[in-house]
A = this chain, B = another copy of it.
Amino acid sequence: MTGVTASDGPAASAQGAPRRRGRPPRTESAGTRDRILDAAREQFSARGYEKTSVRGIAKAAGVDSALVHHYFGTKERVFEAAVEVAFGPVLDERDSVLEGPLDEVGERMTRMIVGLWENPVTRAPLLAIVRSAVNNDAAAAVFRRLVASQLLRRVAGQLDRPDAELRAELAAAQLVGVAMIRYVIRVEPLASADPEDIVRRVAPVVQGHLTGG
């Protein structure tokens, strides 16, 4: 449906070239929809699900709140559409995590996650998911689908061990914990540490969870 993984850009460009003098056609909806989604993503990531209001999203997007309901129906649908953009990069990079030497999968996985969090474009929906997953069942389901099913299960599939899934999850726990402390709660000194230093310290631990012992 949405399929618009178009990164962050505010509606890259209107699809129909305006034929009349530079006036933007009022009947165009795709741009408005994307503006609403951008605003929603920003608000959900900054405030979490509960504290974000449809009115606030509408105001930030420069439209009326009724229009948000017109496009998405309910607040929950707005949320789902807004965080869906986080799936794209993960799914794109997922395969590159899987391919390569098994004794370096920990570093590839760590680099991918840290990279997603360091990139402001992908950080926003990740923040939205984490901020909302702890208090909202729908968001928690999104988290499970994204992290557990799509990523961890595949990583576990590459380990030839009976406890592969548990290992993958403990590795993920290390990465989730770093994200929580560094990006969500922002505790120093981890919040200001050099990303490369974090990768250097964390990657071996992730690798150890996956293939160690």
Contacts and interface: CB of A to CB of B under 8 A. Distances in A.
A131 to B, nearest CB: 5
A177 B172 contact: yes
A176 interface: yes
Interface string A179-205: 011101111111001000000011001
State the majority secondary structure of interface residues on A: helix
Contacts of A144: 185, 187
A181 B173 contact: yes
Given A143-B185, A176-B180, A177-B175, A170 B202 contact: yes
A88 to B, nearest CB: 22
A208 interface: yes
A80 interface: no
Given A51-B135, A134-B131, A178 B185 contact: no
B48 A135 contact: yes
A102 interface: no
A169 B189 contact: yes
Nearest to A51: B50
A51 to B, nearest CB: 5
23 contacts: A48-B134, A48-B135, A51-B135, A131-B134, A133-B185, A134-B180, A140-B185, A144-B187, A147-B187, A148-B188, A165-B189, A169-B181, A170-B202, A170-B205, A172-B177, A173-B178, A173-B180, A174-B174, A174-B177, A176-B181, A177-B177, A177-B178, A201-B209
